[in-house]
């Protein structure tokens, strides 16, 4: 019980610290930095719900992210809607897409699901390329308001929105991980046929997981247009987003809810720092190398490494 209290209290503390941070600092670079890292946190948590808990690899994370971003852009071109409405709408659209892909492919072997997600990402990129209302292949500019609520600048507001989304995602992921649902997903990951035989409603659980993944990735994408101010299909569907969404949980550890958060904080910060201090191409190489190194030599991630060290010392 006390662990529950501690968990919710620390989430509240994170939000409070975020508010304090926006109140005491003005340098926009900090908020840009933190926003990018937190976006990685939400994407990593979302990927991990299906990839880590259930063992189904999604290569199309960037597709969900971009559909979320473009849903928000399209709606905001129609009417000046508040950010919360845009985020909820993006979550709904991406959740439905997640559900549809799940229905279409989850009856098949896991590999086909992975390939289908890649396929879906490119289908959506082609659709957006041809959709002139949101700028088509040429992209579009979004002019964010100067300020919002009581924040000094819009990027501080966006930072706080993304922090709140990260907190929501963390709560969802932890609840799913530690509930009956999470145990069912773990059973699917270890041996799907055995799980099915033991009475686990595998298809239903997988559909819940794909939908939750879609919703969270839609959330993560929704504010992107206002953050970047210029969005085109190439940047929104960037392979880097998909690679990061996989690499972060893999580095942190996929079996526990804490893994993707640790991985995203470490890899996200390292990338941001490497982009500034070395070069943006080299930072891509770091992500790829870290992914392959961890998957080959430390398949259980940092959480797994720490866990085995802990057990050895005791």
CB-nearer residue toward other proteins: 66 or 83: 66
Q: Is 9 in the site for other proteins (CB under 8 A)?
A: no
Long-range contacts at 22-29 (CB < 8 A, ≥ 24 apart): 22/151, 22/152, 22/156, 22/159, 22/160, 26/152, 26/153, 28/153, 28/155, 28/156
Among 19, 243, 258, 266, binds other proteins (CB under 8 A): 243
Q: Give the interface segment with other proteins, choosing from 85-93, 158-166, 177-185, 238-246 (CB under 8 A).
A: 238-246
Among 12, 289, 306, 309, binds other proteins (CB under 8 A): 289
Closest by CA position to 35, among listed 147, 160, 169, 159: 159
Q: Is 194 in the site for other proteins (CB under 8 A)?
A: no
Residues 109-148 contacting other proteins, CB under 8 A: 110-112, 114-116, 118-120, 122-123, 126-127, 129-130, 137
Q: Is 190 in the site for other proteins (CB under 8 A)?
A: no
Give the number of residues in contact with other proteins, rule: CB under 8 A.
42
Among 34, 50, 57, 222, binds other proteins (CB under 8 A): 57
Q: In the complex, which residues of this chain contact other proteins (CB under 8 A)? A: 51, 55, 57, 59, 104-105, 108, 110-112, 114-116, 118-120, 122-123, 126-127, 129-130, 137, 189, 239, 243, 246-247, 250, 281-282, 284-285, 287-289, 291-292, 295-297, 299
């Amino acid at each position: 019980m006390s662990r529950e209290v501690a968990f919710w209290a620390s989430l509240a503390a994170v939000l409070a610290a975020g508010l304090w941070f926006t109140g005491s600092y003005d340098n926009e670079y900090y908020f840009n930095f933190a926003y990018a890292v937190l976006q990685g946190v939400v994407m990593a948590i979302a990927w991990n719900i299906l990839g880590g808990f259930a063992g189904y690899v999604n290569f199309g994370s960037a597709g969900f992210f971009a559909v979320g971003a473009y849903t928000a852009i399209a709606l905001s071109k129609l009417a000046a809607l508040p950010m919360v409405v845009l985020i909820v709408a993006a979550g709904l659209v991406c959740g439905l897409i997640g559900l549809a892909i799940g229905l279409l492919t989850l009856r098949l072997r896991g590999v086909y699901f992975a390939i289908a997600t890649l396929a879906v990402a490119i289908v959506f990129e082609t659709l957006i390329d041809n959709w002139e209302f949101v700028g088509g292949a040429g992209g579009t500019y979004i002019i964010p308001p100067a300020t919002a609520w009581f924040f000094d600048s819009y990027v501080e507001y966006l930072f706080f929105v993304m922090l709140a989304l990260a907190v929501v995602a963390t709560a969802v992921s932890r609840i799913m991980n530690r509930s009956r649902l999470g145990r069912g997903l773990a059973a699917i990951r270890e041996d799907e046929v055995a799980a099915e035989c033991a009475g686990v409603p595998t298809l239903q659980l997988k559909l819940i997981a794909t939908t939750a993944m879609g919703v969270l990735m839609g959330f993560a994408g929704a504010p992107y247009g206002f953050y970047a101010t210029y969005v085109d299909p190439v940047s929104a569907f960037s392979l880097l987003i998909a690679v990061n969404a996989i690499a972060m949980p893999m580095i942190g550890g996929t079996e526990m809810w804490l893994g993707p958060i640790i991985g995203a904080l470490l890899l996200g910060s390292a990338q941001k720092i490497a982009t500034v201090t070395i070069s943006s191409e080299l930072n891509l190489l770091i992500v790829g190398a870290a992914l392959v190194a961890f998957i080959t030599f430390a398949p259980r991630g940092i959480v797994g490494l720490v866990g085995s060290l802990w057990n050895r010392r005791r």
